[in-house]
Amino acid sequence: GNSVTQMEGPVTLSEEAFLTINCTYTATGYPSLFWYVQYPGEGLQLLLKATKADDKGSNKGFEATYRKETTSFHLEKGSVQVSDSAVYFCALSPNYGGATNKLIFGTGTLLAVQP
Amino acid sequence: DTGVSQDPRHKITKRGQNVTFRCDPISEHNRLYWYRQTLGQGPEFLTYFQNEAQLEKSRLLSDRFSAERPKGSFSTLEIQRTEQGDSAMYLCASSFHRGSNTGELFFGEGSRLTVL
């Protein structure tokens, strides 16, 4: 079946540190991959997405590359800020091309950035 | 604010009672989704509508759960005879779908249910 596994948190970093949050997936066919972010007291927001192998999604300094050979979609940022503190969810949609009828989420990773 | 809104934000009820949650999607969005999120877990898909038609239901949606979207606008999620295991955050999301393309899902802030 389809599933997403992401690294457990919390991840605690100092401001300007490099961030990696690992995400691997299991899926049949050609899924689309997403990172969502949930800031304190807010709803989930789409951070970035990639709809086919080798695509790189990017937004707000965050990047993730769809690696079919390693079934991974790791989230990276070169220099985190305190305002990046949030819970990050990796997700997949079984539908090719980004159609998001049904998202399958990982368990989330809490990121805490200290000044 | 024209985002997805959910009501109530918090609901505390006793086991065996019925509860109903409401979701108002972004007005031009034709798809509406319900997810459930328990503590320490990611959201789990429950069901989704295109306009007023309920197109898919998860196995998680037992017969005590019913969702409706009668006019293709707002939706309600009712849980009958609540159990402690129903305690969770219920998330609503909406999107605009045309042809084979579904746009970004926009999530509401959720309705938190606590069953005592």
For residue B19, is pLDDT > 90? Answer: yes
DSSP state of B58: -
Per-residue pLDDT averaged across B65-83, rounded?
95
> Tokens 């031009």 appear where?
B28
User: Cβ–Cβ of A101/B93 closer than 8 Å?
Assistant: no
Mean of the per-residue pLDDT values for chain A? 92
What confidence score (pLDDT) does residue A99 get?
A: 56
Lowest mean pLDDT among A10-14, B4-8, B16-20, B105-109: B105-109
Nearest to A97 among B97, B100, B110 (CB): B100
Annotate A18-76 with DSSP letters as a single string: -EEE-EEEE-SS--EEEEEEE-TTS--EEEEEE-STT-EEEETTEEEE-BTTTTB--EE
For residue B80, is pLDDT > 80? Answer: yes
Task: Write out the residues of chain B at the interface with chain A, using a CB-CB cutoff of 8 A.
Answer: 3-4, 31, 35, 40-45, 48, 55-56, 91, 93, 95, 97, 100-110
What confidence score (pLDDT) does residue A95 get?
A: 67
Burial bucket for residue A18 (CB in 10 Å: 0-12, 13-18, 19+): exposed
What confidence score (pLDDT) does residue B1 get?
A: 55
User: Cβ–Cβ of B40/A107 closer than 8 Å?
Assistant: yes
What residues contact B70, with CB distance under 8 A and at least 6 apart? B52
Per-residue pLDDT reduced to its tens digit, A52-85: 899 999 999 999 999 999 999 999 999 999 999 9
pLDDT band at A22 (very low <50, low <70, confident <90, very high): very high
Measure Cα distances from B29 to A19, A80, B6, B53 in Å.
34, 34, 15, 14
Measure Cα distances from B6 to A20, B33, B89 in Å.
33, 12, 11
What confidence score (pLDDT) does residue A42 get?
A: 87
Q: Which residues of A touch B4 (CB under 8 A)?
A: 43
For residue B7, is pLDDT > 80? Answer: yes
Tally of CB atoms within 10 A around B101: 12
> Tokens 């457990």 appear where?
A8
Per-residue pLDDT reduced to its tens digit, B22-58: 999 999 899 999 999 998 889 999 999 999 999 989 9
